[in-house]
Amino acid sequence: MTATPIDGKAFAADLRARIAREVVALAARGITPGLAVVLVGEDPASQVYVRSKGKQTREVGMNSYEHRLPAETGEAELLDLIARLNADPAVNGILVQLPLPAHMDEAAVIGAIDPDKDVDGFHVLNVGRLATGQKAMVPCTPLGCLMLLRDRLGDLSGRRAVVIGRSNIVGKPMAQLLLRDSATVTIAHSRTRDLPQLCREAEILIAAVGRAHFVKADWIRPGATVIDVGINRTEAGLVGDVDHAAAREVAGAITPVPGGVGPMTIACLLANTLTATARANGLPDPEGLTP
């Protein structure tokens, strides 16, 4: 049996349409959400993302502020820009594109962002809020994966989930969100022993490794829901972390790359910007955009 494709692109388009309607409702109160994206350096992949974020931000009716700084910008200058964005009432969300050039202290830069404008959810205060079950800004990629999983499976409680990858931006927050939904979560990484056997236990398998075709079809439990977070540029084009062509013959449902998690990440960035704007104005959180 061939797996059901999980159409992240279509889900993300729906989500953006909902967000656009909320933006119209805010306009009646004289409020326009604003998202500031900061890019340091000229990494070509990052430039593509930043351009695409700016375009989608404007399409849902929000204001987009793009700040491009040369790679050799000093950390103090970047911190100065962040301080100005923190103080600017027209800016509700701030995203500093990662990775930063090697001479910058990533933790210090993220730590300088106002946690209430931290639409990436990377500030330690938001990490701690998520971990302790408080209202937080939740990282976009894991939030997008959670939305796809709930849509496919409904209640996640009691489900066995394996997350491959323990990064601060994907693996760890993904595991926190699954745990919040009462899944039984295992986090795997490069030191995990017998990863194929562990994966075979998973009803939900999340691959966030960064290696093309890393997860093989015979690691997948028949009928499992597989979420492929990987973005790997190869000679054959953009591919995920899962050997997709073979895996779809075993899985129950699987996200493609491209067209799966990637578009959800950007839609969730807009969702977080809307949530941050609502909170900044003392309004209730918009329905269905927060975990």
Ligand X SMILES: NC(=O)C1=CN([C@@H]2O[C@H](COP(=O)(O)OP(=O)(O)OC[C@H]3O[C@@H](n4cnc5c(N)ncnc54)[C@H](OP(=O)(O)O)[C@@H]3O)[C@@H](O)[C@H]2O)C=CC1
Taking CB under 6 A as the criterion, which residues in 206-265 touch ligand GUE?
231, 238, 257-259, 262-263, 265
Q: Is 46 annotated as a binding residue?
A: no
Q: Is 47 a catalytic residue?
A: no
DSSP string, 79-94: HHHHHHHHH-TT--EE
- Give backbone dihedrals phi and psi of 225, rounded to 5 degrees, phi first: -95, 120
Neighbours of 94 (CB within 10 A): 28
Rounded to whole angstroms, the Cα distance separating 270 from 286 reads 12
Tokens representing 129 are 């809020």
Torsion on CA atoms 208, 210, 216, 217, rounded to nearest 10: 50
Q: Which of 80, 189, 196, 218 binds ligand X (CB under 6 A)?
A: 189
The distance of closest approach from Cβ of residue 48 to ligand GUE in the complex, given in angstroms and rounded to an integer, is: 6
Answer for which of 177, 229, 271, 289 binds ligand X (CB under 6 A) is 229
Query: Alpha-carbon distance 229 to 257, whole Å?
Result: 8
Helix residue ranges per DSSP H, the chain:
8-27, 44-59, 75-87, 106-111, 124-131, 140-153, 171-180, 195-200, 244-247, 261-280
Contact map string, positions 108 to 137, toward ligand GUE, x by CB under 6 A: ------------x-----------------
Under the binding rule (CB under 6 A), the answer on residue 265 touching ligand X is yes
151 flagged as catalytic: no
Q: Which of 114, 117, 118, 120 is an active site residue?
A: 120
Residue 58, annotated ligand binder?
Answer: no
Based on the number of CB atoms within 10 Å of its own CB, is 29 exposed (0-12), middle (13-18) or buried (19 or more)? exposed
Minimum CB separation from ligand GUE for residue 200, in Å? 26
**Site for ligand GUE (CB under 6 A): how many residues?**
17
- The site partner of 48 among ligand GUE, ligand X, none (C-beta below 5 to 8 Å per kind) is ligand GUE
Q: Any idea which residues carry the catalytic annotation?
A: 53, 97, 120
User: Site residues (CB under 6 A) for ligand X?
Assistant: 141, 164-167, 169-171, 188-192, 195, 208-210, 229-232, 261-262, 265
Binding-site residues for NADP(+), in ranges, read 165-167, 231
Chain residues binding ligand GUE by CB under 6 A are 48-49, 95-98, 120, 140, 231, 238, 257-259, 262-263, 265-266
